[in-house]
Amino acid sequence: MHRAAVAAGLIVPKAIADITTTPSIAPGVSPGYGLPPAAAEGTLTDAFAKQFFTFYLDAKAAKGGAALSESELQAIQQQTLDALKSAVMIAPNFKSVRDLEVIGSDTDALKSYAAAAEAVLMANKNSATKGEIGYLKDALEKGDASAYEHIASIAKAYRESAAGLTQLPVPAVIAGDALALINALARISEINMDFTKVPTDPLAAIFALGQYPEAVAALGTAFENIHTAYGSADIRFAAGEPGASFVNLITEVKVPTSQP
């Protein structure tokens, strides 16, 4: 049944959009009273409503039309969520190793890559004063609609960083980790864009939030593996040297700064 629903367009077959598309910021919720507007056709929230209604009717029929208890309604809700989770598919990775230009792994190549990668990340640094989760909390807890614009800006920085890193020749010894870094950046970008769908497709945002910890962990692992690879190659960077921040980013994040 779920495959047929996907084929018919009832269930959006991914929680993370194609990285090549230009995302749009979900519009804010209009103030007012009464029931919220119905979710747009094709959204996960719309799919949930339709599937829930189907399961509800089936359960009512099984009881001869008798009213359902609160526990039975909760069970239908969980059944609906489980059905959607089984139908939602993660988008494929942004890039594969075939998309990278892999070169030799001598000291000069490794240092040049680190400097170029650092330049890409710095060029796509945004002006956000907090992380995407902080802005998401502002949107949900404070009703700050502008928070979605900040999240979209962060998503853009992740996305363009991934695209920029893809263009760099990468030493073979770190090619796998560089690819993992690119794909983690791209996936976090699209998860962030799903966060901006709270006003129009809240279930998509919920599903994206469930994927967020794994994506962030993958990003951290990629940076840690790159740092280890440079250490294994006995390549060290002086403070402020081009490439130092890129290679040592994971250690800088892990080591807390002393309090004044």
240 and 177 in a common domain: yes
Q: Is residue 59 part of a domain?
A: yes
The whole-number pLDDT of residue 155 equals 96
148 and 240 in a common domain: yes
CB 246 within 8 A of CB 114: yes
| Full domain range(s) for residue 157 | 97-254
Q: Is residue 28 part of a domain?
A: no
pLDDT (tens place) for every residue of the chain, 260 residues total: 444 443 333 333 333 333 333 333 444 433 333 445 667 888 888 888 889 889 999 999 999 999 999 999 999 999 988 888 877 777 789 999 999 999 999 999 999 999 999 999 999 998 889 999 999 999 999 999 999 999 999 999 999 999 999 999 999 999 999 999 999 999 999 999 999 999 999 999 999 998 999 999 999 999 999 999 999 999 999 989 999 999 998 775 554 433 33
Q: Is residue 212 part of a domain?
A: yes
Burial 223-242 (b: 16+ CB within 10 A, else e): bbbbbebbeebeeebeeeee
191 and 80 in a common domain: no
The whole-number pLDDT of residue 150 equals 96
154 and 109 in a common domain: yes
Among residues 69, 87, 105, the one where a domain terminates is 87
Q: Is residue 53 part of a domain?
A: yes
Q: Which strand (E) or helix (H) includes residue 48?
A: helix 44-62
Classified as helix, coil or strand, 102 is: strand
Among residues 28, 58, 87, the one where a domain terminates is 87
Q: Is residue 27 part of a domain?
A: no
200 and 147 in a common domain: yes
The whole-number pLDDT of residue 37 equals 60
The whole-number pLDDT of residue 250 equals 78
120 and 197 in a common domain: yes
Q: Is residue 26 part of a domain?
A: no
The whole-number pLDDT of residue 256 equals 40
154 and 61 in a common domain: no
82 and 131 in a common domain: no
106 and 64 in a common domain: no
159 and 221 in a common domain: yes
Please tell me the total count of domains within the chain.
2
170 and 236 in a common domain: yes
218 and 114 in a common domain: yes
Q: Is residue 184 part of a domain?
A: yes
Say how far apart CA 220 and CA 134 lie, in whole Å: 19
